[in-house]
């Protein structure tokens, strides 16, 4: 058996791949090294949502018997996407300190465990919809949080402050509508998102200028 990608492992989903990248594990070889280390395996289990020690032990056994294909050094260091012309363009990565990296990993873990907050009695009256609304009334069982009642929105479900409003890659998002909006952007910490009302011609100009400045565009056309 040959394991080429992280998702080839049983029970490892796409969202888990993003959680692994947040703690610095980008390929199968790095995962195999981490789960064979007593200290790192604890961090892996803590960071992954929906994955427990039993699943990780299964990966350890599978990787011990499998042939692991290591990614090229260039691909292992950064995420690679295929351009339209068949060439490979390396996506820019932010320069993050240790505290921010840990906060991103913790946010991914919390997001995976956060319940879906739905409006009171959304299942009884279709006209209400599922969108969250705070329950009202002095007799509301959901408001009083009795047993077997759906959870309510609470500050305890929020993610860490250090990772708040950051893109999953770790970049701080900046919304731009023209080429002039790229001035003053720090490519090491910030990435741009082009406004939805920008036309194709201006969007191409913004992307070309961003490439010249080394700025990552989060919603490129291609």
Q: Based on the domain organization, do 84 and 22 belong to the same domain?
A: yes
Domain ranges, residue 16: 2-89
Full DSSP string of the chain: -EE-SGGGSTT--HHHHHHHHHTT--SHHHHHHHHTSHHHHHHHHHHSTT--HHHHHHHHHHHHHSEE-PPPHHHHHS-EEE-TTS-EEEPP-----HHHHHHHHHHHHHHHH------TTTTT-GGG-SS-----STT-TTTTT-TT------GGG---GGGTTB-TTSPEEEEESSGGGGTT--TTTEEEEE-TT--HHHHHHHHHHHHHHTPPBTT---
Q: Based on the domain organization, do 15 and 62 belong to the same domain?
A: yes
| Alpha carbon distance 162, 104 (integer Å) | 8
Q: Based on the domain organization, do 58 and 13 belong to the same domain?
A: yes
Residue 97, Cα to own-chain centre: how many angstroms?
17
Phi-psi region of 86 (alpha: psi -120 to 50; beta: other; left: phi over 0): left
Look up the pTM and report it.
0.54
The label of the residue with tokens 């070309």 reads 208
pLDDT in tens, 54-100: 787 777 777 776 655 554 544 444 454 555 555 556 678 888 899 99
Q: What's the pLDDT at 215?
A: 93
Q: What's the pLDDT at 73?
A: 42
Q: Based on the domain organization, do 128 and 84 belong to the same domain?
A: no
Q: Based on the domain organization, do 71 and 17 belong to the same domain?
A: yes
| Alpha carbon distance 155, 159 (integer Å) | 9
Q: Is residue 186 part of a domain?
A: no
* Structural domains of the chain, count: 2
pLDDT in tens, 123-166: 999 999 999 999 999 999 999 999 999 999 999 899 999 999 99
Q: What is the largest CA-CA distance in the chain?
A: 63
| Alpha carbon distance 6, 21 (integer Å) | 11
Residue at a domain's end among 89, 107, 142: 89
pLDDT in tens, 6-26: 777 777 778 888 888 888 888
CA neighbours within 13 Å on the CB side: how many for 81?
9
Q: Is residue 137 part of a domain?
A: yes
């Amino acid at each position: 058996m040959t394991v080429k990608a992280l998702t080839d492992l049983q029970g490892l989903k796409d969202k888990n791949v993003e959680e692994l990248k947040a703690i610095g594990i980008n390929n199968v070889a790095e995962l195999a090294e981490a789960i064979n280390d007593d200290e790192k395996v604890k961090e892996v289990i803590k960071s992954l949502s929906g994955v427990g020690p039993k699943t990780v032990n299964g990966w350890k056994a599978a990787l011990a018997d499998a042939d692991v294909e290591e990614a090229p050094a260039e691909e292992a260091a950064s995420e690679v996407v295929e351009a339209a012309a068949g060439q490979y363009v390396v996506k820019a990565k932010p320069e993050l300190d240790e505290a921010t990296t840990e906060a991103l990993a913790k946010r991914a873990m919390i997001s995976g465990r956060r319940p879906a907050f739905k409006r009171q009695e959304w299942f009884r009256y279709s006209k209400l919809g599922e969108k969250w609304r705070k329950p009202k009334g002095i007799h509301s069982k959901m408001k009083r949080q009795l047993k077997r009642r759906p959870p309510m929105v609470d500050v305890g479900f929020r993610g860490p402050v250090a990772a708040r409003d950051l893109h999953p890659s770790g970049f701080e998002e900046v919304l731009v509508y023209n080429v002039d909006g790229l001035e003053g952007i720090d490519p090491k910490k910030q990435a741009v998102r082009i406004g939805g009302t920008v036309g194709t011609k201006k969007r191409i100009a913004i992307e070309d200028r961003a490439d010249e400045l080394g700025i990552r565009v989060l919603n490129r056309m291609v």
